[in-house]
Amino acid sequence: MEYLFDKPVQGSIGVQPYKITIAWRNGSFVSDEPVKSGGQDLGPDPYTLLLSSLASCTLATLRMYIDRKDWKIADMEVNVNMYQTILSGNMETTIDRDIKFISPVTEEQRKRLNNIAANCPVSKILQGDIKVRTFTQSDADIEKKLKYANDDIAVVWKPELCKHSARCVSGLPKVFDVNAKPWINVDGANADKIAEQVSKCPTGALSYEVIKETGK
Ligand code: SF4
């Protein structure tokens, strides 16, 4: 199992309703709720972010396909909206996506591009089998630490934060082996390699301290 991103998308909130800071790999932005829902509309609300994801994936996928085909189709727009209905006690969500080609397209191109858009990666996620797993932790969890060290590096493992990924095991099996005791063997690779792998731990369960600098 390999996560899509080395660094997860991180949201954080303080006491101001409902201003959320979203940190992503290259910066951050603010999300908020509209005034009618108690926020200040300082940024897109969660539903808007969901629809934005579909809009941007649709247009990027179309641009890739059009460029590969060398078709002369310049500007495009997409409008995405959604509604929800309760059917037999279950919430059903319908998302409508309207694509507008500003440049002329043939009927054949339009049909082909409709099909390409319908199968963009985010469309597939939204229409596929999604699981959202939720884990919780508090500051108290972070108290427990185990340390594995040699003369070059010390790896610190916080077991309560190690919940849902075997990235370290698949990335550096000679160091991280759940069947071995201890499960972290800091002599299984050089310190640089271990540090590189540790920094990919998605939950913060692993960290390291360099004891002495090693060459690459
Ligand atoms: S230490 Fe990090 S990378 Fe390794 S299994 Fe735990 S959460 Fe996953």
Which mutation among 7, 179, 206, 207 tests ligand 1's pocket best, with the greatest number of atoms within 8 A of CB?
Answer: 206
Q: Check whether 164 has a pLDDT greater than 70.
A: no
Higher pLDDT, 146 or 53: 53
> Which CATH number applies to 139-210: 3.40.80.10, 3.40.50.720, 1.10.3720.10, 3.30.70.20?
3.30.70.20
When pLDDT is cut at 50, 70 and 90, the band that residue 1 belongs to is low
Q: Which residues line the pocket of ligand 1, CB cutoff 6 A? A: 162, 165-168, 201, 203, 205-206
Q: Summarize pLDDT for 64-108 with one digit per residue, the tens.
A: 999 999 999 999 999 999 999 998 999 999 999 999 999 899 999
- CATH assignment of 10-127, among 3.30.342.10, 3.30.450.40, 1.10.10.10, 3.30.300.20: 3.30.300.20
Q: Under a CB-based contact definition with an 8 Å cutoff, are residues 160 and 141 in contact? A: yes
Q: Which of 2, 146, 155, 165 to mutate to test the pocket of ligand 1 (most atoms within 8 A of CB)?
A: 165
Q: For ligand 1, atom 7, name the residue with the nearest CA.
A: 162
pTM: predicted TM-score of the whole model, two decimal places:
0.74
Give the distance (Å) from ligand 1 centre to CA of residue 212. 24
User: In the chain, what are the domain boundaries?
Assistant: 10-127, 139-210
Average pLDDT of every residue of the chain: 92
Closest CA to 62 of 106, 99, 8: 99
Residue 209 has pLDDT above 90, yes or no: yes
Please give the pLDDT value at position 216: 47
